[in-house]
Amino acid sequence: MTAERYNARESEPRWQRLWDEKAIFASRNDDPRPKYYVLEMFPYPSGRIHIGHVRNYTLGDVLARFMRAKGHNVLHPMGWDAFGLPAENAAIERKVAPKAWTYDNIAAMKKQLRSIGLSLDWSREFATCDPSYYKHQQKMFLDMLAAGLAEREKRKLNWDPVDMTVLANEQVIDGRGWRSGAVVEQREMSQWVFKITKYSQELLEALDGLDRWPDKVRLMQRNWIGRSEGLLIRFALDAATTPAGESELKIFTTRPDTLFGAKFMAISADHPLAQAAAAKNPKLAEFIADIKKIGTAQSIIDTAEKQGFDTGIKAVHPFDPNWKLPVYVANFVLMEYGTGAIFGCPAHDQRDLDFVNKYDLGNVPVVCPEGQDPKTFVITDVAYDGDGRMINSRFLDGMTIEAAKEEVAKRLETELRALPGQGRLAPVGERQVNFRLRDWGISRQRYWGCPIPVIHCPTCDVVPVPDDQLPVTLPEDVSFDKPGNALDHHPTWKHVTCPKCGGKAVRETDTMDTFVDSSWYFARFTDPWNETAPTTPAVANRMMPVDQYIGGVEHAILHLLYSRFFTRAMKATGHVDMSEPFAGMFTQGMVVHETYQKADGSWVTPAEVKIEVAGNGRRAVLMATGEDVEIGPIEKMSKSKKNTVDPDDIIASYGADVARWFMLSDSPPDRDVIWSDERVQGASRFVQRLWRLVNESAEIAKIAGNKAAPAARPETFGPEALALRKAAHGALDKVSSGIERLHFNVCLAHIREFANALSEVLAKGDKPAPDLAWAVKEAATILVQLFSPMMPHLAEECWVVLGQTGLVSEADWPQIERDLLVEDSVTLVVQVNGKKRGDVTVPRAAQNADIEAAVLALDAVKAALGGKPVRKVIVVPMRIVNVVG
Ligand code: ANZ
Ligand code: ZN
């Protein structure tokens, strides 16, 4: 029989409708089977699905479908990360309401997502901008406020003067706003923070337990949290030099061992001592104003040229009252870290070295690397931060760095000095652990976000909005004519009466950082129907944590860290009972594509060019005009370089299954995958091949009975049938374990190989004996099930052809017959006097005597022995046979 071509365009929507009607992907919370929670990072409703989404969701879908077939109650939900700036920008540019824009986009993208054939539980869908979602977020904010996990704090913030909003440090790129590109300014403002630092140590330690997270992500989180152990040291100040009688300067150092290499002190421009000195020194005030312009983002500080201003103040070395150090205001010292003041040891810190080299302060090395002569060891342009022994350091000389740190700490801990302005004595040095992690500032001066549910009353100060007045909903009659926060400009919304005293009061007009919205949506998915509470703890505790979370590595730090914190905060306030939200984390690679550029430098899309292969070169031609275009480097798909492919086009031309199969083939899922039309066509041909193969198998399978009268399983199988059965169960074994490990590209290779094995059997064309017919039927059934997680529509269609009942999407995963996996022969390396001479294949169960006989019969062995007698034959089971002559 010649099967017609498989028609994805006709088939795919039909199966999608059927899955929907039967709601087979809906997960029930009272399902008694073991749960498995698969989640891909939910999308921002920008308006269109991009190819990266297709990859992300396909990866999760394969796992979800597989785990469902393996008998789990799979939770695989989808929703929308729907608050954020683009909706407001659309409102400004196109005069559409943010809400309408967002929900329209959601509708469009949902349709696109459906066309991919994902096994999603749409009954749990929500958008974070639904008041029925953010209502609970407001409730949790208030719970956190009551628990001391949310606070108001005065902060220096990055202010984007164009977008009129506060930016997080990571939203400042090279001193400019990440969206607007405007030069960012520093402003002091009151804002709401979540006290993530209360969990610094715990968030750090718990990383060790996240053994199904990529190491690189755990390392990035570790560095972000940035724990360091060091010493706080109170340097005395020379009173004659201080602006207002200040008597000491407290610094934090992780290298107290280097104290005898100190050459200067440096303080932040925001340090009170700097402020006091500036009040008396206009030049210093000017310098401070200057360096403050560059902003406090770490990246800026790290790259900016080191600059300092000598205040004239002198500090006294803690181990030598006659040793005075100049105090500089410097642009590389942050007020937010440690004490905002340091001592500089140029020989062993690159920043300090750059600094002294600029201001001619010199350096003294105090750590000498092993094998170097301390007398000749000098530092010029490169600081030495490695290991070694102490030199030039009086009582520390000869010690290791560790021993010297300990010695300095001990001495300064036991030395007492009066605290400034008090008679009380206190140690000069104190051990301290510092973290880089800062509290999470969540206030955004934006309309399209979750309103922070508090009221500011002139009498009662900050008053929480009472529970029965939640949610505080966003007004819809807003205008974006003026820059700034539309909530603030609204004529009536913010004016309320104080819930406490009944007086006139105003609402908080800041909304929450959208990272808050995405810090608990995974918990909400466990029971999105609960109207009275964010979660139903009994349900959340059963369905959480997410067993496999999948998303881009760009979220490796903030989103994941915030979610880990928020889950702890939800635990502290009684909404869940676990600390870690994601037991398994997987970061997928990007989809990349060649770029194409016209002679005038403008970019053109892949859809506009035709690739011509000539010899071993390729050239690209613009189809519309026939002109040559330059083939540029392969890069991440982006709108600006136009090297994107539209998922809709791909699905319309090839079908979702082809797109899915292509995404999974070739590259491991954590690496980038290069989009290539040629290879997409290859995937398309493979779909047709599978279709023919299954149809041909179905014909043969008829010999093995039909649905009404299935043939009994043969008692015994001939060699051909047995070989096919081994191939089938071997593939089943490898694909099953490959999916569990998300090695999808490897799974696809095994499926291809197995399809080839089945093809070869069919190609013989003889009418097969009943045992082989039975094996063909089994093989075709297993084949369809193996590719069903990747190409679910084709699989459903094939399932019908094979005469199976029900849906393959609902079928149990096939049982592996383990005894078919045992290889019955082994190949051993044959050596003569230790040198490899060939190999020998023997039955697995062969006795040593049989192996010896087989080896000695080999021509290569006879030749190598050259007639000499055999003294001994050593058999290393399953591996090597060595003949000693
Ligand atoms: C003296 C010294 C000598 C230092 C040396 C380093 C090397 P981590 O490991 O990140 O905690 N430091 C302290 N507070 C600072 C601030 N507010 N702004 C800029 N730098 C600051 O870094 C701790 C080290 O960073 C401290 O140890 C201090 O310099 C500097 F050979 O003290 B060190
Ligand atoms: Zn009041």
Mutual angle of helices 656-664 and 792-801, in 10-degree steps: 110
Q: How far, in Å, is the centroid of ligand 1 from the Cα of 226?
A: 12
In this prediction, residue 156 has a pLDDT band, given cuts at 50, 70 and 90, of confident
pLDDT at 616: 80
Largest CA distance in the chain: 113
* DSSP E strand boundaries for 369-428: 389-390, 416-418, 425-427
- Asked if pLDDT for residue 155 goes beyond 50, the answer is yes
Task: For ligand 1, atom 27, name the residue with the nearest CA.
Answer: 253
Q: How far, in Å, is the centroid of ligand 2 from the Cα of 489?
A: 22
CA pair distance 879, 839, nearest whole angstrom: 10
What whole-number percentage of the chain has pLDDT above 90? 78
Task: For ligand 1, atom 31, name the residue with the nearest CA.
Answer: 348
pTM over 0.85: yes
Structure tokens, 527:
């029971």
> How far apart, in Å, are the Cα atoms of 52 and each of 635, 663, 728?
13, 10, 33
- Asked if pLDDT for residue 354 goes beyond 70, the answer is yes
Residue 245: HSE in the Cβ half-sphere, 13 Å Cα cutoff: 2
- Asked if pLDDT for residue 709 goes beyond 80, the answer is no
- Among candidates 756, 192, 790, which has minimal Cα distance to 513? 192
**CB burial class (10 A; 0-12, 13-18, 19+) of residue 162?**
middle
Asked if 268 contacts 335 with a C-beta cutoff of 8 angstroms, the reply is yes
- One DSSP character per residue, 8-67 reads HHHHHHHHHHHHHHHTTTPPPTT--SPEEEEEEPPPP--SS--HHHHHHHHHHHHHHHHH
CA pair distance 452, 192, nearest whole angstrom: 9
pLDDT at 1: 46
Residue 667: HSE in the Cβ half-sphere, 13 Å Cα cutoff: 19
Strands 264-267, 320-330: pairing is parallel
Examine residue 545 and say whether the peptide bond preceding it is cis (omega within 30 degrees of 0).
yes
Asked if 366 contacts 393 with a C-beta cutoff of 8 angstroms, the reply is yes
Asked if 242 contacts 216 with a C-beta cutoff of 8 angstroms, the reply is no
Q: In 10 A of CB 727, how many CB atoms? A: 24
In this prediction, residue 236 has a pLDDT band, given cuts at 50, 70 and 90, of very high
Q: How far, in Å, is the centroid of ligand 1 from the Cα of 385?
A: 12
Residue with token string 């063909």:
776
Ligand nearest to the CA of 458: 2
Mean pLDDT across the stretch 87-93? 89
Residue with token string 């020379």:
238
CA pair distance 163, 185, nearest whole angstrom: 12
Task: For ligand 1, atom 2, name the residue with the nearest CA.
Answer: 255
Residue with token string 């350091």:
393
Task: For ligand 1, atom 33, name the residue with the nearest CA.
Answer: 253
Structure tokens, 482:
């003026």
Structure tokens, 425:
């004595």
The angle at the Cα of 662, spanning 658 to 663, to the nearest 5 degrees, equals: 120
Q: How far, in Å, is the centroid of ligand 2 from the Cα of 796?
A: 64
Residue with token string 């509470």:
533
Structure tokens, 269:
């421009």
Read off the pLDDT of residues 272-307 as tens digits, 9 standing for 90 and up: 999 999 999 999 999 998 887 765 556 666 778 899
Residues in the chain: 885
Asked if 134 contacts 517 with a C-beta cutoff of 8 angstroms, the reply is yes
pLDDT at 300: 64
- Asked if pLDDT for residue 773 goes beyond 80, the answer is yes
**CB burial class (10 A; 0-12, 13-18, 19+) of residue 32?**
exposed
Task: For ligand 1, atom 18, name the residue with the nearest CA.
Answer: 333
Q: How far, in Å, is the centroid of ligand 2 from the Cα of 660?
A: 58
Residue 863, C-beta contacts closer than 8 angstroms, at least 6 positions apart? none
pLDDT at 774: 94
Task: Tell me which of 254, 264, 408, 432 to substitute to probe ligand 1's pocket, judged by most ligand atoms within 8 Å of the beta carbon.
Answer: 254
- Among candidates 130, 68, 123, 76, which has minimal Cα distance to 103? 130
- Among candidates 145, 140, 212, 25, which has minimal Cα distance to 523? 140
User: Which has more confidence, 396 or 819?
Assistant: 396
* CA R_g for the chain: 35
In this prediction, residue 611 has a pLDDT band, given cuts at 50, 70 and 90, of confident
Q: Which residues surround ligand 2, an ion (CB under 5 A)?
A: 457, 459-460, 498, 500-501
Asked if 274 contacts 288 with a C-beta cutoff of 8 angstroms, the reply is yes
Mean pLDDT across the stretch 349-376? 96
Question: Which string of b and e fits 255-275 if b means at least 16 CB within 10 Å?
Answer: bbbbbbbbbbbbbbbbbebbb
Residue 299, C-beta contacts closer than 8 angstroms, at least 6 positions apart? 172, 173, 174
CA pair distance 432, 338, nearest whole angstrom: 9
Residues 406/410/411/416 CA torsion (nearest 10 deg)? 150
Q: How far, in Å, is the centroid of ligand 2 from the Cα of 478?
A: 27
Atom of ligand 1 nearest to the CA of 337: 17
- One DSSP character per residue, 331-383 reads TT--TTSTTSEEEE-GGG-HHHHHHHHHHT------EE-TTS-TTT---SSS-
Read off the pLDDT of residues 430-464 as tens digits, 9 standing for 90 and up: 999 999 999 999 999 889 999 999 999 999 999 99
Ligand nearest to the CA of 497: 2
Using CB distances shorter than 6 Å, the residues near ligand 1 are 228, 252-255, 258, 332-334, 337-338, 340, 342-343, 345, 348-349, 434
CA pair distance 54, 646, nearest whole angstrom: 10
Adjacent-strand bridge partners of 45: none
Mutual angle of helices 8-22 and 647-654, in 10-degree steps: 110
Residue 723: HSE in the Cβ half-sphere, 13 Å Cα cutoff: 8
Mean pLDDT across the stretch 735-757? 97
CA pair distance 808, 524, nearest whole angstrom: 30
Q: How far, in Å, is the centroid of ligand 2 from the Cα of 468?
A: 18
In this prediction, residue 671 has a pLDDT band, given cuts at 50, 70 and 90, of very high
pLDDT at 174: 76
Which stretches of 471-557 are DSSP H helices? 486-489, 514-517, 521-524, 537-543
Asked if 383 contacts 350 with a C-beta cutoff of 8 angstroms, the reply is yes
Task: Tell me which of 200, 250, 253 to substitute to probe ligand 1's pocket, judged by most ligand atoms within 8 Å of the beta carbon.
Answer: 253
pLDDT at 703: 72
Mean pLDDT of the chain: 93
Asked if 233 contacts 315 with a C-beta cutoff of 8 angstroms, the reply is no
Read off the pLDDT of residues 115-132 as tens digits, 9 standing for 90 and up: 999 999 999 999 999 999
Read off the pLDDT of residues 548-603 as tens digits, 9 standing for 90 and up: 999 999 898 999 999 999 999 999 999 999 999 999 999 999 988 989 999 998 99
Q: How far, in Å, is the centroid of ligand 2 from the Cα of 416?
A: 48
Task: For ligand 1, atom 29, name the residue with the nearest CA.
Answer: 253
